[in-house]
Amino acid sequence: MSRRLTATISLLVSVAACGRSPSSGATPVQAGVLITNATVIDGTGSPGRRASVRVEGDRIVAVGDLQPASTDRVIDATGLVLAPGFIDTHTHADDGLDTHPEALAVVSQGITTIIGGQDGGSPLPLSTYFAALEKQPAAVNVGMYVGHGSVRDSAYYSIVRAEWPEVRQRLEAALT
């Protein structure tokens, strides 16, 4: 991995859009992080542009030509790219979030949302899976398709298992 790409990934921020307008004089300034001189790719399809980004808590509150507040932690991103988190639309990282909720394998790549269940397998019922995630949140957003194979298996396994000796005989006969 190139040095530039590594540096780019380390600056990815998990926010799709500005949630609030920039701080006005009427609002007390919160301690925040000001990322300066980044090449900002905002996900709209517009070309990257040089800008600073102010973060308060878990929100981007301003993008533009910004000056640091006295309480800001300033990160100079000269020569680096700042972009919203990526969405992995076909992942297997959903398996294991219970034991590794920090999800380093994905967040270290700048992925902030994962979608599972693409191959037809998913936890069932999904309500139980998501209830567990609510109880122990992961470091990434998680979406899940209902696994068509899992649903079918849950209905058919007991029937197929009962008929397995005959199925096996037929399979062996087909091989001889």
Q: Which positions lie near Zn ion, rule CB under 5 A?
A: 119
Distance CA 91, CA 80 (A): 27
- The candidate with the shortest Cα–Cα distance to 103, out of 136, 128, 70, 58, is 136
Min dist. Cβ of residue 20 to Zn ion (A):
37
Q: In terms of CB distance, is 98 or 119 closer to Zn ion?
A: 119
Q: In the chain, which residue ranges form alpha helices assigned H by DSSP?
A: 3-10, 104-107, 126-135, 148-162, 164-175
Q: In terms of CB distance, is 90 or 100 closer to Zn ion?
A: 90
- Which residue's Cβ has the minimum distance to Zn ion? 119
Q: In terms of CB distance, is 84 or 123 closer to Zn ion?
A: 123
Min dist. Cβ of residue 5 to Zn ion (A):
24
Min dist. Cβ of residue 89 to Zn ion (A):
11
